[in-house]
Amino acid sequence: MSKLTVATATMYELSLAGAEEASRLGEQSGDIDHLLLALTISEQVAGQVLRALGVDLERTRAAVEQQHADQLASLGVRAAASGPGRITFHERGEFDWNDRALDVLRRAAKGGKRGDAAAVLRELVQEGSGLIEAILQRLGTTPQQVRELLDQAERYPAPPNRAADNGRSISGAGAAHVTAPVAEVWALLSDPARMPEWDLGFGRVDDLPDDVALGATWTAYALETAPNGKPQRINSERRRARIELVESEPTTAIEWITTWPDSPTSNKRRMRIELEPAAGGTRVVIRAAWERMSSRRGIPLLRWAMRPLYSFMIWLQISQIGGSIGRVFR
């Protein structure tokens, strides 16, 4: 991926997770502690390094809460904390990073730095306020240990993820970290009735099968009202979808094909999700493809011109699915 693509993807990923964490406390502005929390659930190298050091989401949440409480106590303030609530960002939709968090993000993409999560983490652990260092100490590690493990991990960079177009389908793959054991993630994904919990394109499901075996089908209906209460504009031909289960390997992999019966020329969506145990939860690998119907003729020149947009849409869909699965358990 290009530097711009990497930096944009990282900003999207961290801003979404940071906004969700801030919303648990009723906040609409993100600080460097929210940035650290967002990094703990990143599937990029930075997140893997933090979790390997024991800096996972739940322990970091507790350390951040205690650090703020101790700072207030040192000023003679002992206000009773109301405690975190549920994630409400998708209902409110308002969020901004404060100046020092934005400064970290900008420095991570400045000059020869790539702007990926590892660059953000490097800038974060050397941020001058001392807040992140204090939180890390509560978690039994130091900025130096973080940098050393990052150095080791980045000697073996992951291959870039690009969308592929073979003329009949456009596909891509990505990964996400979920803070729950494999068995719980599998229970979510393998239950057709729970699909609207993680695939936010659907608001409800119907015609559920008695036996969820290979070849089982059910109907999913487009989400009509967004979490913030606003009505969604829905193409009448895309209001109803048919989901077919085409592969199921318990606790390992599951795959579906989605078609739209009222739009017979619409491309089919194939989605496969693979689960792997990981430190602090589950690594979720998402493979998505849009497959052209045999009755629909492709226009090679148009497909070539639209390839950047298709690549972005595949990436965005995979990111949203990964984020939504993780959100269920946070």
Q: How confident is the model at residue 161 (pLDDT cuts 50, 70, 90)?
A: low
pLDDT one-digit tens code per residue, 249-291: 999 999 999 999 999 888 899 999 999 999 899 999 999 998 8
For residue 274, count other CB atoms closer than 10 A to its CB.
16
108 Cα distance to chain centroid:
20
For residue 271, count other CB atoms closer than 10 A to its CB.
19
Residues in CB range of 169: below 8 A, 6 or more apart: 270, 289, 290, 291, 292
Spell out the domain ranges in the chain.
Answer: 3-153, 164-328
Tell me the CA distances in angstroms from 204 to 197, 198, 240, one per residue in order: 9, 11, 10
Strands 29-30 and 96-97: parallel
163 Cα distance to chain centroid:
18
pLDDT reported for residue 30: 95
pLDDT reported for residue 90: 84
Separation of alpha carbons 13 and 293, rounded Å = 32
pLDDT one-digit tens code per residue, 240-252: 999 999 999 999 9
State the residue for tokens 């409110």: 92
| Same-fold call for 3-153 versus 164-328 | no
259 Cα distance to chain centroid:
24
Q: Which of 122, 127, 79 is nearest to 103 (CA)?
A: 127
Average pLDDT value for residue range 119-130: 96
Q: Which span out of 93-97, 181-185, 222-226 was modeled with the highest average pLDDT?
A: 181-185
Kindly report the CATH class assigned to 164-328.
alpha beta
Q: How confident is the model at residue 294 (pLDDT cuts 50, 70, 90)?
A: low
Are the C-beta atoms of 221 and 251 separated by less than 8 Å? Answer: no
More confident residue, 117 or 80: 117
Separation of alpha carbons 192 and 198, rounded Å = 11
CATH of domain 3-153: 1.10.1780.10
Phi, psi of 111 (to 5 degrees): 65, -130
